[in-house]
Amino acid sequence: MFHIPVDRRRFFKSMAAASAGFTLSGYLAEALTATPSTTQGPYYPLADDIPLDKDNDLVQLNDNLTSAAGVITYVTGRVLDTNGNPIKNALVELWHADREGDYLYSNGVGRNSACDANFAGFGQMLTSSSGAFKFRTVKAGLYTGRTRHYHWGITVPGRTTRFCTQTGWNEVAYNLTGQQWATQNSNDNVFSTVPAGQRAGLLLDFAAVPGTTTGEVQATWDFVSGYTPVEPTYPNTGSLTAAGNAVAGPVGGNPRYKITIPTYIGYTYEIYGNPTFADLEWRALPFAMSQTGGIDRHKHTATSEGTLSFYVEAKATKGFYQITFRPSGANTGTP
């Protein structure tokens, strides 16, 4: 007899682990519970803090010969909508403290010098067509006032709000000298405020990576988005997420970032930069239609089919821009 466990999220987690690539699309009539949000926290990295190397491997920074200190930890999972459909091209961001409890965050110049110099501190990736993401990092360290946790930011296509949540460890937290930490999941000021029925979905069970003898651990975690993505499928309104390539700007000026996308006649395009620490919203950026032309517009309506390049001067400090598009006749004001 087919039995659905009470803890639906763990059921999905076990399925994801057991059958990589299996897609739940359309499988369930009943909606999944959206992952609860938590505070972003005070240490979302500033543009000046983060390294050039901000991929999904936080253990290896740039060309450093030494890896980050700590227990190598993998988190794999998928971004799903509440119907269980995978969300592709969602931007997943991860940032957390190093083994000693120090973030790379700094409100001065450059990264926090106390943070492990070999730890990236921040990583990101776009989900695949199956909604999948994977990060390699180290076990987060403890710092006063909190239990152990990772911070996550998820932006789904077509939405201009970064959704923030945190995951913890379903275990008793001990510091590096083996003493039980004062702040545990039960009295942590973030996890304790998440409704009990949803908290379990944020407290992950980490297990040894099979076949390894170096203490590496892994967990799976599916993020269920309460936001329905707007897929970049013409002729609908939607958005694309794209990188910008640095190019020379006008002589004596700043570099520009070139974003090239397929365009359709009559569609209106806008460029959005990364959300900042202070503002979770992605911001509309002014741009030019040529490499050296004036930065003179916030939107552009294509007059022919093909590809178009847009040139912005605002660097995508975390790597990506969002380009929204709307069909002819739609409201072309800033949404």
Minimum distance, C-beta of residue 149 to Fe ion, in the bound complex (Å): 6
Total of residues contacting Fe ion (CB under 5 A): 1
Cβ atoms of 305 and 263 within 8 Å: the answer is: yes
Q: What angle do CA 149, 150, 153 make, to 5 degrees?
A: 140
**Least Å distance between CB 206 and Fe ion?**
18
Report the residue number, 121 or 238, with the smaller CB distance to Fe ion: 121
Token output for 123: 């990583």
To Fe ion, the closest distance from the beta carbon of 93 in angstroms equals 13
Please identify, using beta-carbon distances, which residue of 164 and 209 lies nearer to Fe ion.
164
Picking from 83, 154, 165, 124, the residue whose alpha carbon sits closest to that of residue 319 is: 124
CB 204 within 8 A of CB 170: yes
In the bound complex, what is the minimum distance in angstroms from residue 190's beta carbon to Fe ion?
8
Helix (H) or strand (E) holding 307: strand 306-312
Under the criterion CB under 5 A, does residue 164 sit at the interface with Fe ion? no
CB of 92 or CB of 308, closer to Fe ion = 92
Considering beta carbons, is residue 12 or 191 the nearer one to Fe ion?
191
Cα three-residue angle 210-168-105, rounded to 5 degrees = 110
CB of 164 to Fe ion, least distance (A): 11
Identify which of residues 105 and 269 has a Cβ nearer to Fe ion in the complex: 105
- What are the tokens at 102? 């120090």
Min. distance of Cβ 150 from Fe ion in angstroms? 8
Residues 193-212 that bind Fe ion (CB under 5 A): none
Q: What number of helices (H) and strands (E) belong to the chain?
A: 2, 18
Residue 140 or 308: the one with the smaller Cβ distance to Fe ion is: 140
The mark string for 113-152 relative to Fe ion (x by CB under 5 A, - otherwise) is ----------------------------------------
Nearest to 206 by CA among 147, 140, 116: 140
In terms of C-beta density within 10 A (0-12 exposed, 13-18 middle, 19 or more buried), how is residue 280 classed?
A: middle
Nearer to Fe ion, 150 or 287 (CB): 150
Shortest Cβ 106–Fe ion spacing (Å): 15
Sign of CA dihedral 55, 68, 201, 28: positive
- Smallest gap from Cβ 75 to Fe ion, in A, equals 16
Rg of the chain in Å (alpha carbons): 21
Q: What is the DSSP secondary-structure string of 132-190?
A: EEEEEEEPPPP-TT--SEEEEEEE-TT--B-EEEEEEESS--B-TTSPBPS--TTT-TT
Least distance from C-beta 188 to Fe ion, angstroms? 10
Residues 27-86 that bind Fe ion (CB under 5 A): 41
What is the C-alpha to C-alpha distance for residues 258 and 246, in angstroms, rounded to an integer? 6
Q: Of all residues in this chain, which one has the CB nearest to Fe ion in the complex?
A: 41
Nearer to Fe ion, 73 or 85 (CB): 73
Given the complex with Fe ion, which of 38 and 322 has the nearer CB atom?
Answer: 38
Which token pair is 46?
């500033």
Q: Look up residue 129 and give its two tokens.
A: 């067509």
Kindly list the residues in this chain that would bind Fe ion in the complex (CB under 5 A): 41
